Amino acid sequence: MLQLARRSKRAVFRPLQGPGKDGTAAMLFLAPSLIGFAVFYLFPFIGGFYYSLMDSPVEGSFVGAANYAEVWNSDSFRKAAANTAYFTGIGVPLLLTVSLLMAILLNRSFPLRRWIRTAFVLPLVLPVASVVLFWQVLFDTNGWLNRLIVDWGYAPVSWMESGEARTVIILMYVWKNAGYNIVLLLAGLQTIPKDYYETASIDGAGKVRQFFGITLRYLIPTLFFVTIMSVVGSFKVFRETYLMSGEYPHDSIYMLQHYMNNMFLSLDYQKLTSAAYIMAAGMIAVVVLLFQADSRFRRSIE
């Protein structure tokens, strides 16, 4: 009986040693990624915050939030921040609307559906330079669109040298990122059982009620993720805008990335890092608000 009790204790306590060994093995496998993350992201993030509190990157003295106050009171920074906020506020809802409508359309069977899917996914695999070249040919002063306008008897439009540049950048942002959102939304739509729609139809629910009661409700996790990625992507349109308009574009498309790029070219690292952390704080605030809105909406429908 004593030997049987000892064996039972060993059988009970032996599995408890497994998680520790598994945890150690997991940390060993994760170590290269964690080290790379720390070296290339975490340490530079901390170092950049340190430089934002100094008056010079070399033998500088501590000035606290003086650099942040100087950046915040800068007219160029405020203009860049306002343009970025406007772009995000218009571009993201438009992108979500187009992506959701196209995903619902492509979730049905109709001719040329595969070709249309490919057309929306194609911008994801094209190099940025090729995408910008296409839009330059389309919206240049002597481009294809102005050629049509002149043929119709109207004066050509300076698309990238007027307030219309903002519309062009928003359209390019939607066109370039819609494919990624459509793929995710299609995956979310295909997880919704068709029995729900059949039951709703038997109960007399119309298409609009089915959309808000079934489709939109079960797409909440996917829509939330797509919204987060779209907001983050709206802060990363510098490459396209820079390649189309250069370092100093029209005032309507002068974004935060342009401001920070100009600070980098002038070697003003204090303003550069301060502006970067202000933008990061703004992005974090937007994401936190989206998380809160998502949690409240889920509680309301439950």
Q: How far is CA 119 from the centre of its chain?
A: 21
Asked if residue 154 has pLDDT above 50, the reply is yes
- The CATH number given to 66-301 is 1.10.3720.10
pLDDT band at 226, cuts 50/70/90?
very high
Q: Given pLDDT bands bounded at 50, 70 and 90, which one contains residue 233?
A: confident
> Which 3-state string (H, E, C) describes the chain?
CHHHHHHHHHHHHCHHHHHHHHHHHHHHHHHHHHHHHHHHHHHHHHHHHHHHCECCCCCCCECCCHHHHHHHCCHHHHHHHHHHHHHHHHHHHHHHHHHHHHHHHHCCCCCCHHHHHHHHHHHHHCCHHHHHHHHHHHHCCCCHHHHHHHHCCCCCCCHHHCCHHHHHHHHHHHHHHHHHHHHHHHHHHHCCCHHHHHHHHHCCCCHHHHHHHHHHHHCHHHHHHHHHHHHHHHCCCHHHHHHHHCCCCCHHHCCHHHHHHHHHHCCCHHHHHHHHHHHHHHHHHHHHHHHHHHHHHHHHHC
Q: pLDDT, tens digit, for every residue of 263-287?
A: 888 888 888 888 889 988 888 888 8
From 249, 85, 77, select the one nearest 163 (Cα to Cα). 249
User: What pLDDT score does 176 carry?
Assistant: 87
* Residue 13 reports pLDDT greater than 60: no
- Report residue 91's pLDDT band, with 50, 70 and 90 as the boundaries: very high
Q: How does residue 56 score in pLDDT terms, banded at 50, 70 and 90?
A: confident
Instruction: Tell whether the model's pLDDT for residue 26 goes beyond 60.
Output: yes
- Could you tell me the two tokens for 67? 């650099």
Q: What is the pLDDT of residue 4?
A: 43
pLDDT at residue 155, as a whole number: 82
The CA distance from 297 to 275, in Å, is 33
Confidence (pTM): 0.79
- The percentage of the chain sitting over the pLDDT mark of 70, rounded to a whole number, equals 92
Q: What is the pLDDT of residues 179-200, one digit of tens each?
A: 889 989 998 888 888 888 888 8
Segment 39-53 shows an average pLDDT of 86
pLDDT-derived band of residue 139, with 50, 70 and 90 as boundaries? Answer: confident
| pLDDT confidence bin for 98, thresholds 50/70/90 | very high
Average pLDDT, integer, range 51-78: 84
Question: How high is the pLDDT of residue 99?
Answer: 92
List where CATH 1.10.3720.10 sits in the chain.
Answer: 66-301
| Type of residue numbered 268 | D
pLDDT band at 17 (very low <50, low <70, confident <90, very high): very low
Q: List the one residue out of 227, 230, 200 whose CA is nearest residue 215.
A: 200
